[in-house]
A and B are shown apart, each in its own frame.
Chain A
């Protein structure tokens, strides 16, 4: 893509050091166990006006990456460019305004002691978004934008349901007129019937306001409906990036295949049996040598245990970090599922 991405990160790492008391340093011989590599060299770009989904299991580092993108955590190393310019490590008022966040838990994300109107007003005034006289009108406009009405202004967060709270949190993020929205699992705490309304809201925001949205999720089915591109994360690194349709039709990383095959299906004909993944994600304290996925990978070869593959282009707009990416199609036919059990009716 020739256009400059709105947000680009290159080789971002984030390491947490634990147990760094003097006593622990003396008693522990090797230092391996005490540092957690939450992010281990992440490359990713968010293009203008797109919804990019970031998918991964717990411990993959997707929430840490989200925090670094909005500036509430600082990376241990790496670059973060906003519209092609390096983003300062400590963002000022205006820089932090550009990238806003929607949180997973709609209960913890709203201050119980501040009314909705007061919350919006504070932001609008602080950033001089509109003249003082228009603050109220602007607040109502924001509420309408997310599907709420004027009477919400006087109300406190406790008076709203989870879905409504998430709308309020979105209105708050929009109040400062950002051009990037980072949504950290915004629907996973909501009921199914409410999830769809919030997903639609994100689609509307992208279309009507031209927002670029990074949508962090663990549910691939949700992502498939919403996003234009998908990045799959495993143990602190992006292992595959592609346009949504391409990724689901033609996954070029065994982990992506496993994720897709693990999605519970809605129709009886499509009950999936193909690809059974053994084991659980290893701990980020102890990342396997070679390809980080090799202990669970049914296709792992000797080379996979020694080479740590980088993200490489395997097709147009499609990158994968697997040295056997090009063979995956043929391999799938020869490898049998590891377990055969009685299957569901």
Chain B
């Protein structure tokens, strides 16, 4: 036959890692950086609310009601004399917490179910996906509002309502990704390596499919914050007097002709938050998408 050893020796001598990754570093990614800065600042403000807020956000002071911005109250006061800036700062805590948690729970449930359905297929997949289809048939807001009505207003019922409705998106995204990933030869190779289904799903498929769900989660946080704001606006959200952006917009709109800043400033904060999260999602999708790693 052949004389491979000599050739192999020659081969080895010239062997070196040919392709270095010529990907620009993550900090050179504009939208990712913008997203990190905005979201980071918001999180910082929320965490440091007790230190940053000049006033108690709940204590009423009717003598100072409806004041225009002044050195004492930078953004003025509302109809109960509460400092708007302080309520915005404390509101960040509530809205971001609810936003993140309302995404985290359906993310975990939906991804897990979707991954299992996609990986094992069969009747399990059929049943689960029909359920998902059923949920998708209802408009998001209608479902959330109905569920909050049923469970009663308050933070925990918002979590339950949003989780009940939005896990289906994650299930569908992750299932689709798993269907693609499980056909890859490396999954077959892992099976031939004697690995259990659980190990393959968690260690080999998981990291390759979650990026899409994470990217979606960023835009989902935006949607959930909007939902909370909407619910607050409809009077179904976080019970007053807790500071929350949605109810602030709702309360402020009756004074829109005289004290426009009462509704507009919280509205702007919501817009900036959404923008930050969207950029973060864009940046992450650049960073995590598989073709960058090829």
Contacts and interface: CB of A to CB of B under 8 A. Distances in A.
Direct touch of chains A and B (CB < 8 A): yes
Interface in B246-278: none
A345 B2 CA distance: 33
B7 A197 contact: yes
A342 interface: no
A112 B194 contact: no
Contact of B8 (A103, A147, A151, A156): A147
Name, among A107, A111, A169, the residue most crowded by chain B CB atoms within 10 Å (CB to CB). Answer: A111
Interface stretch (A91-99, A234-242, A265-273): A91-99
Name, among B7, B17, B186, B192, the residue most crowded by chain A CB atoms within 10 Å (CB to CB). Answer: B192
Nearest to A161: B18
B95 to A, nearest CB: 34
Q: Is the interface of B mostly helix, strand, loop or mixed?
A: helix
Given A111-B204, A148-B15, A200 B4 contact: yes
Contacts of B190: 111
A148 B12 CA distance: 7
Contact of A161 (B1, B11, B19, B188): B19
Contact of B186 (A72, A93, A110, A201): A110
A123 interface: yes
Given A112-B208, A112-B290, A96 B191 contact: yes
B24 interface: no
Contacts of B130: none
Q: How large is the interface on A (under 10, 10 to 19, 20 to 34, 35 or more residues)?
A: 35 or more
Interface in B187-237: 188-195, 203-204, 207-208
A112 B189 contact: no
A149 B15 contact: yes
Interface in A142-172: 147-149, 151-152, 155-156, 158-161, 164, 169, 172
Given A159-B17, A204-B8, A126 B194 contact: yes
Nearest to B188: A72
Contact of B194 (A97, A111, A147, A158): A97
B1 A207 contact: yes
A101 B12 CA distance: 24
B156 interface: no
Interface in B7-40: 7-8, 11-12, 15, 17-21
Contact of B11 (A93, A197, A225): A197
B188 A123 contact: no
A20 interface: no
A214 B2 CA distance: 19
B182 to A, nearest CB: 11
Contact of A123 (B191, B193, B203): B193
A9 B203 CA distance: 34
A18 to B, nearest CB: 16
A197 B8 CA distance: 8
A130 interface: no
Contact of A204 (B5, B185, B195, B290): B5
B210 to A, nearest CB: 10
B17 A155 contact: yes
Q: How large is the interface on B (under 10, 10 to 19, 20 to 34, 35 or more residues)?
A: 20 to 34
Nearest to B194: A93
Interface in B141-195: 184-186, 188-195
Contact of A127 (B5, B18, B194, B294): B194
A164 B15 CA distance: 9
A109 B15 contact: no
A111 B12 contact: no
Given A149-B12, A149-B15, A207-B1, A94 B192 contact: no
Contact of B2 (A100, A108, A203): A203
B17 A152 contact: yes
A70 B204 CA distance: 20
Contact of B21 (A103, A123, A159, A201): A159
Nearest to B23: A158
A130 to B, nearest CB: 15
Contact of A71 (B1, B192, B208, B290): B192
A105 B186 CA distance: 10
B208 A113 contact: yes
A201 B4 contact: yes
B293 to A, nearest CB: 5
Name, among B12, B18, B185, B195, the residue most crowded by chain A CB atoms within 10 Å (CB to CB). Answer: B185
Nearest to A204: B4
Given A72-B191, A93-B194, A111-B208, A158 B8 contact: no
8 contacts: A101-B189, A101-B192, A103-B188, A103-B189, A114-B207, A122-B203, A159-B17, A200-B2
Interface of B: 1-2, 4-5, 7-8, 11-12, 15, 17-21, 184-186, 188-195, 203-204, 207-208, 290, 293-294
Interface of A: 70-72, 92-94, 96-97, 99-101, 103, 105, 107-114, 122-123, 126-127, 147-149, 151-152, 155-156, 158-161, 164, 169, 172-173, 175-176, 197, 200-201, 203-204, 207, 225
